[in-house]
Structures are given as C-alpha cells and as structure tokens.
C-alpha cells in the first residue's frame, strides 16, 4: 500500500546519496582550488604538489560538470533549428530566386555586350560610313514585313540605304523622317535584291514572298548553286555595295532555291545603317585611302645611252672596208 501511495519512495535514498557525494566532491574541489590559488604558486618553478593535485582533480570534474550544460545547449539549438526550419527554408528559397534573377540579368547583359561588339566590328571594304540604330517597332502581315528604326534624316540616312545586323543584310531603307527610318526587310513581298553565289559568281534576284526564306529567281548557268553555297550582294544596279553577307542557299520543299538568311541567327533589334549612295562614293573612299598611303621617293634617273656629258650625241665609229 505504501508503495502504491509513493512509487518513488525507493528512489529517494539513491538520489540523496548521489547529491551528498556530489556535494562532497564539490567541496573537495573548492578547497583544492583555494589551496592551490596562492601567490607563491605562480612564481617561477613554484608549481608545487598542491597545485598539481588541484589541477588533476579539477580537470575531469570541471569537464563532467560542463558536459550537461553543453548537452543542454546542443539540444536547445536542435529544437530551435527544428522549429525555425520552415522560415529558414523560406528565406533560402527567396535568396535562391533572387540569385537566379541576377544570373539571368548577367547572361542577358553578356549576350547584349557580345552583339554590340560584333555590330561595332562590322566593316566594309572600302569603308562606308554607318549609323547605329535600334528597331523600335515591327509591321508584320501576310505580305508586308518592315521595321521602324530610331534614327532618321538627322543622321544623314536617305532612302535606299542598306541595313545590316551583326550577322548580315536585313533589308534597305524605304522611308526616312526626323528620328525614324522605315526598313523594308528581305522577306517582304516587295523586296528585290540582286545577289550572287560566292562560289560560282552566278547572279540571281533574291525575291521576298512573305515567308522566312526568300526565293532565288533568274538563276543562270549549269548548276550554278548547290546547297550551302554562301550568298552575298552582287552590287548590280548600284543599289547595294558588293559583298555584303546575305545567307546560305537551300532547296525548298517546293523544289525552288531559297535562302536561309544570315540575319536570322539573332534577334533583329540592333542594326547599322550604311550611308551608301552609289559606287562613286566607294571610288572616292578608295581614292582617299590611296592618298593617305605614303608615296615612295622617285628612283634616280638612268644615264641615257649614247649621250655625252655635254649633251651631244656621240657618233658611232665607222669602219672602212
């Protein structure tokens, strides 16, 4: 009955003995520390027996007394981490999303910078003045395909100027005003561009039909083109300079030769407008380049054969039979 009324009665004696032993050990350690904590023990070579015994007893006992506190601290940290795991996970997800946004922005800036470098590195031979612009709108329909660029008459642009991206020709200017230019793309149904196959110099007319791949019309010669042949502007008619990259020749599903445009390799948003007027402009540019070249000094004149120093002609000796 007494056991039922007090089930922890038998445990009370061991707990009392344990508390007593811990108290005695604590007193001994305290006395040892007090005895060893004397001024003379800190003098040179005064590390005596008392100090040694005190340190030997204090080290394990102190470690034993500190261990429960360390366990409790670890347990508190574990419980805190468990209860705050949801908020920590939410915070880490937000940081990861922000880092992903920064990564995408950095990749976009790197791509734009690469395209800027390619566009600025665009050159012609002989050099033709160019104007950088950005396409700000697009007019696309079943037959019409034009772009509007944010550079116009104030930049010296005129109707007929060719327009290029960093990869190749995209069309020509068909209308210009202050601050804007209308570009007719090669795919527009009204577009007609004289081109040639670079491998054979065979001529053709690149004709837009509203689709992504304009047709090659009026080809001349026996097998003038093969799949993969590079197409460039021919310069015929003086409308465009010769040698601007256009694209590659392919055989369409309808059996006609078509062009995969080089400008399709990237979005057409940054362009350069060539301030080309006619071939006399190129001739003038080539003459200006020649004028810049250093002129070699004239060679020393060779003495004339049969002329004396006095300038009289020496008579050839005659022989008599």
- Residue 313 is classified by DSSP as B
SS (H, E, C) 131-195: EEEEEEEEEECCCCEEEEECCCHHHCCCCCCEEECCCCEEEEEEEEECCEEEEEECCCCCCEEEE
Determine contact, residues 86/94, Cβ cutoff 8 Å.
no
Q: Is residue 318 very low, low, confident or very high in pLDDT (cuts 50, 70, 90)?
A: very low
Domains, the chain, in order of start with CATH, read: 11-83 (no CATH), 130-281 (2.40.10.340)
Determine contact, residues 198/232, Cβ cutoff 8 Å.
yes
Q: What is the pLDDT of residues 134-191, one digit of tens each?
A: 998 887 777 678 999 999 999 999 999 999 998 999 999 999 999 999 999 999 999 9
In the chain, DSSP assigns E strands to 130-140, 145-149, 162-164, 169-177, 180-185, 192-197, 203-207, 215-217, 230-233, 245-251, 257-261, 270-274
Q: Is the pTM here over 0.85, yes or no? A: no
Instruction: Give residue 179's pLDDT.
Output: 93
- Using CA atoms, how far residue 61 sits from 58, 66, 106, 200, in Å, is 5, 9, 59, 97
Closest CA to 229 of 198, 255, 256: 198
Q: Look up residue 273 and give its two tokens.
A: 């407008």
Residues 6+ apart with CB under 8 A from 221: 200, 202
Q: CA torsion sign, 132 to 133 to 134 to 140?
A: negative
- Residue 303 is classified by DSSP as P
More confident residue, 35 or 216: 216
Q: What is the pLDDT of residues 285-305, one digit of tens each?
A: 556 665 665 655 555 554 444
Which residues sit opposite 216 in a β-bridge?
206
| Distance between CA atoms of residues 120 and 275, nearest Å | 15
Total residue length of the chain: 321
């Amino acid at each position: 009955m007494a056991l039922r009324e007090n089930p922890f009665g038998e445990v009370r004696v061991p707990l009392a003995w344990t508390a007593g032993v811990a108290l005695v050990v604590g007193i001994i350690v305290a006395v040892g520390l007090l005895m060893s904590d004397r001024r003379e023990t800190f003098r040179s070579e005064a590390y005596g027996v008392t100090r040694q015994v005190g340190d030997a007893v204090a080290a394990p006992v102190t470690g034993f007394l500190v261990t429960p506190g360390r366990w409790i601290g670890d347990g508190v940290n574990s419980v805190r981490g468990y209860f705050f795991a949801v908020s920590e996970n939410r915070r880490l997800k937000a940081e990861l999303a922000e880092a992903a946004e920064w990564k995408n922005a950095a990749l976009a800036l790197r791509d734009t910078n690469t395209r800027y470098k390619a566009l600025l590195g665009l050159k012609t031979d002989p050099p033709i003045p160019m104007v950088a612009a950005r396409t700000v709108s697009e007019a696309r329909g079943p037959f019409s395909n034009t772009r509007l660029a944010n550079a116009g008459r104030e930049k010296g642009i005129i109707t007929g100027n060719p327009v290029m991206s960093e990869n190749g020709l995209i069309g020509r200017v068909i209308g210009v005003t202050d601050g804007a230019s209308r570009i007719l793309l090669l795919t527009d149904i009204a577009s007609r561009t004289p081109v040639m196959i670079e491998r054979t110099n065979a001529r053709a007319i690149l004709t837009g039909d509203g689709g992504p791949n304009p047709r090659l019309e009026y080809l001349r010669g026996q097998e003038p083109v093969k799949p993969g042949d590079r197409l460039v502007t021919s310069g015929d008619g003086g409308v465009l300079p010769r040698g601007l990259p256009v694209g590659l020749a392919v055989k369409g599903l309808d059996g006609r030769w078509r062009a995969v445009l080089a400008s399709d390799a990237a979005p057409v948003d940054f362009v350069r407008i060539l301030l080309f007027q006619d071939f006399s402009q190129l001739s003038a540019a080539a003459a200006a380049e020649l004028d810049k070249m250093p002129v070699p000094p004239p060679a020393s004149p060779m003495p004339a054969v049969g002329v004396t120093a006095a300038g009289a002609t020496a008579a050839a000796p005659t022989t008599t039979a």
